[in-house]
Amino acid sequence: MTLRVDAARLHGRIAELASIGDTGDGGNCRLALTDDDKAGRDLLVTWMRDLGLRIDIDAIGNITGTWPADATEPPVMCGSHIDTVRTGGRYDGNLGVLAGLEVIETVITQGVVLARPLCVGIFTDEEGSRFAPDMLGSLVFVGGMAVEEALDITDRDGLVLGDELARIGYAGPLPCPRATPHAYVELHVEQGPVLESTGTTIGAVTGIQGISWQEITITGQPNHAGTTPMHLRRDAGLVAAQIAVAARELTDTSSGPNVATVGRLDLHPDLVNVVAGRAILTLDMRDIDDAVLAAAEEHMAIICAELAADEQVTIETRSLARFEPVAFDEDMVRLVEDVAIIHGHSVMHLPSGAGHDAQMLARVCPSGMVFVPSVGGISHNPAEYTREEHVEAGANVLLELMVRLAE
Ligand code: GLV
Ligand code: MN
Ligand code: MN
């Protein structure tokens, strides 16, 4: 008998999780460690408990559900995240977690006997939109950052991660780094246009591009918009705009980074008739080649110094995240491809533009990722959508991958 997930149950759970933090426009807002993140976690923990999984919560709030509950061997692990950006969709992260749960439920209800335990993980604060860096929970899981350091991170309002984690009741007893899994596989929506535009159902992900996040604070002089002559201005808003343009221009050069984004810009005092005295912006740059990314960081530092001198402002830069590019285990990439072909799907190799928990797990165990198409390549947007047949195809590929790795 061919093993298949219960697609209706999976679609039902995607909808039920999406009802928590529903933004009313098809999207989701479950920023990390908010009340809605807690409600989403509570729902997943209920489902895991009903299935008889062993639930473990660690000091950074990662939740794992393991089957059999008394397993001691390193498990074949899958997972992802259920936190979202403020204007998120219902698939990013959620699919990997819910499909993982579905895989384990299928194995249990079908009475499949495996040599290794299975585990599904929900990693804390993958998005990093509230507490930078991104992939924080999985970073701490593998020992890439000490728990104490992570718990001290603050959000924009000065709220401390450790306090927020305790407030929602997910500061768990298990220490980090956690025990190393046997292998890790993550199903995720592509969040880009490649699979859809090539008519491909499954992506065998080869790696993840490097990420550089910086917060840039520009301090000039707030002054009257009507009376201050242009040549006497120290305009932080102007410099912020020039930095955004310089980053875009850098991507247009042959040696520039693949992508660059100024996604956040706060001006102070933020008034129609006052020259901005302070600007705080974020710069996200990514490339598959770490040397290109490093050169882009250097280039932007030089540009900032020139702009600061020209406009008589000061510029301070703080690193929010810096992760090198990751190449996934070649055997895992091949296995994803083989399984997709056996299932009769079109498949292609592609790198990931987005960051994922799998890039952290790749530091400690063979790791791989399965992508399914995103309609219109839209993500981090309420309109994010993946067709039901692609959700089902991805979940069945994940099922077979986990079974093979656990046999
Ligand atoms: C995080 O998931 C990112 O790629 O921004
Ligand atoms: Mn994600
Ligand atoms: Mn995301």
Kindly give, in sequence order, each residue whose CB lies less than 8 Å from that of residue 243, ignoring residues fewer than 6 positions away: 216, 218, 262, 281, 283, 300, 303, 304, 307
Query: pLDDT means per 10 residues in the chain (407 residues)?
Result: 93 98 97 98 98 98 98 98 98 98 98 98 98 98 98 97 98 98 98 98 98 98 98 98 98 96 98 98 98 98 98 98 98 98 98 98 98 98 98 98 98
pLDDT of 1: 59
Strand partners, 216: 281, 317
How far apart CA 102 and CA 89 sit, in angstroms, is 20
β-strands 259-268, 278-287 pairing: antiparallel
Instruction: Considering every ligand atom shown, identify the ligand nearest to the alpha carbon of residue 286 and give its number.
Output: 1
**Number of other CB atoms surrounding residue 46 within 10 Å:** 10
pLDDT of 2: 85
pTM passes above 0.95? yes
Is the minimum distance from the CB of 164 to ligand 1 under 6 angstroms? no
Is the minimum distance from the CB of 36 to ligand 1 under 6 angstroms? no
DSSP strands (E only) in 361-402: 367-372
Q: How far is the CA of 371 from the centre of ligand 1 (A)?
A: 15
Structure tokens at 380: 């981090």
The answer to whether 165 touches 124, Cβ cutoff 8 Å, is yes
Q: How far is the CA of 390 from the centre of ligand 2 (A)?
A: 17
The answer to whether 251 touches 257, Cβ cutoff 8 Å, is yes
Which of 134, 188, 283 for a ligand 1 pocket mutation test, highest count of atoms within 8 Å of Cβ?
134
How far apart CA 37 and CA 213 sit, in angstroms, is 24
The answer to whether 71 touches 115, Cβ cutoff 8 Å, is no
Is the minimum distance from the CB of 354 to ligand 1 under 6 angstroms? yes
Q: Apex CA 336: angle with CA 385 and CA 366, to 5°?
A: 110
Is the minimum distance from the CB of 105 to ligand 1 under 6 angstroms? no
CA proximity to 219, closest of 320, 308, 319, 299:
308
Instruction: Considering every ligand atom shown, identify the ligand nearest to the alpha carbon of residue 97 and give its number.
Output: 2
Using DSSP's 3-state secondary structure scheme, residue 363 falls into coil
Is the minimum distance from the CB of 355 to ligand 1 under 6 angstroms? yes
Burial (0-12, 13-18, 19+ Cβ within 10 Å), 143: middle
Q: How far is the CA of 109 from the centre of ligand 3 (A)?
A: 31
Which of 356, 357, 371 for a ligand 1 pocket mutation test, highest count of atoms within 8 Å of Cβ?
356
Atom of ligand 1 nearest to the CA of 355: 4
H or E element that contains 16: helix 7-18
**Number of other CB atoms surrounding residue 282 within 10 Å:** 17
